[in-house]
Amino acid sequence: MDNVIAQSEPLMPRETSVHEAGYDVEHEHAFVPQHRHHFETEEQQREAGSFGMWLFLLTEIMFFGGLFFAYLLYRNWYYDAFVPASNFLSIKWGGTNTAILITSGFFMALAVWAAEVRNKQILVWTLVATMLFGWAFIGIKGIEWHDEWVHHHIPGSGYDVSEFVNPKAHGITDAKPLPPDMAQRTQIFFFLYFGMTGMHAVHMLIGLGLLFWLLWRAQRGDFTDGYVAPIENFALYWHFVDIVWLFLFPLLYLINRHPLAH
């Protein structure tokens, strides 16, 4: 292939040095409506799009990275407080939500396939399923947050440590009572819990908003004539949000079930 370059003409065509250069090649390579004029080929456009999306996801990794580090630090500092606070969360709800989110991601993956094989009906229905499971996740998250609100576990002035200072009085039999100063540190757990799940939920809501728009365009037939990039790139985003949850679930719900005795 190298000799293609060697054979080709020298760097600039002569006309460019003339000021009134021709300007007729502007849309020569526009094959399809969604093809942007500054890309040479559709393939180049598609790959640029998915590369750009990946770079955006890198920024998301680093954004959540700060929160994950804060969690790591404070879990080590306030281990005794993190154990009962974490065990207050319900594995039942958390596990269900994990399954729901995986299912939503599964349908999104199918949606990409449907767009690739140009089947509009399957595409629309898989997008609807993705969306429904997404909302189910948000709904369950809402139930959980409501639970925490009822138990006064929202950090701030209304925060109540009595459950951690005197678990037996609240009917919790398997937890050690905490000294009051350590019990206050359970707030840190709930800061991080609300911060991380909240930030995750914000990403979910943004995704669900985008899904409405994609769904509307999909049923118009925009993505089933060979133009799959928006579906593909949205799927990357949606799966990334899944992955964040795949880490949040064990960190927040699971890993403190068997506290180490110091």
Partner 1 sequence: MSATATTILNLPDQSTASIPKKNYITAEHGLLSWLLTGDHKRIAMLYLISITFFFFIGGAFAGLIRLELLTPQPDLVASDTYNKFFTMHGIIMIFLFLVPSVPATIGNFLIPIMVGAKDLAFPKINLLSWYLYLVGGTLTLAALVLGGVDTGWTFTTPLSTHYLNTHVITAASAIFIAGFSSIFTGLNFIVTIHRMRCPGMTWFRLPLFVWSNYAASILMVLGTPVLAIALVLVLLERVAGIGVFDPTKGGDPLLFQHLFWFYSHPAVYIMILPGMGVISEVVSTFSRKRVFGYTAVAFSSVAIALFGFFVWAHHMFIMGISNYSALVFSLLTMLVAVPSAIKIFNWAFTLQKGSITFETPMLYAFGFMGLFTIGGLTGVFLGSLGMDIQLTETYFIVAHFHFVMVGGMLMAFLAGVHFWWPKMTGRMYPESLSKLAAVVTFIGFNLTFMPQFVLGYLGMPRRYHAYPPEFQVLNVLSTAGATVLGVGYMLPILYLAWSLKYGAIAGNNPWQATGLEWQIQSPPLTENFTQIPIMDHEAYDYEWLEHQTRHEVTTVG
Partner 2 sequence: MSHEAAHEHHYHDPANVTNPEHAEHHIVTPLQYCYVYGTLLFFTILTILAADWDMGIFNPVVALAIACTKAVIVILFFMHVKYQSNLIKMTVGCGFFTFIILITMTLLDYISRAWGLW
130-149 mask for partner 1 (x: CB under 8 A)?
--------------------
CA gyration radius for the chain?
26
Residue 260 within binding range of partner 1, rule CB under 8 A: no
Q: What whole-number distance in Å separates Cα of residue 52 and Cα of residue 36?
A: 15
33-62 mask for partner 1 (x: CB under 8 A)?
---xxxxx---x--xx--xx--xx-xxxxx
CA 141 from chain centre, in angstroms, equals 15
Residue 76 within binding range of partner 2, rule CB under 8 A: yes
Q: What whole-number distance in Å separates Cα of residue 228 and Cα of residue 37?
A: 18
Looking at residue 45, its amino acid is Q
Q: Which of the listed partners (partner 2, partner 1, none) does 20 bind, with a CB threshold of 5 to 8 Å by partner kind?
A: partner 1
Q: Which of the listed partners (partner 1, partner 2, none) does 32 bind, with a CB threshold of 5 to 8 Å by partner kind?
A: none
Query: Looking at 47, 149, 169, 205, which residue binds partner 2 (CB under 8 A)?
Result: 47
Q: Which of the listed partners (partner 2, partner 1, none) does 37 bind, with a CB threshold of 5 to 8 Å by partner kind?
A: partner 1
* Residues in contact with 208: Cβ distance below 8 Å, sequence separation at least 6, in sequence order: 131, 134, 135, 138
* Long-range interactions of 65-72: CB distance < 8 A, separation 24+: 67/192, 67/195, 67/196, 67/199, 68/196, 68/247, 68/251, 70/192, 71/192, 71/196, 71/251
Instruction: Report the interface residues with partner 2, using CB under 8 A.
Output: 1-5, 7-8, 29, 40-41, 43-44, 46-47, 50-51, 54-55, 57-58, 61-62, 65-66, 68-69, 72-73, 76, 91, 95, 98-99, 102-103, 105-106, 108-110, 112-113, 116-117, 235-236, 239-240, 242-243, 246-247, 249-251, 253-255, 257-258, 260
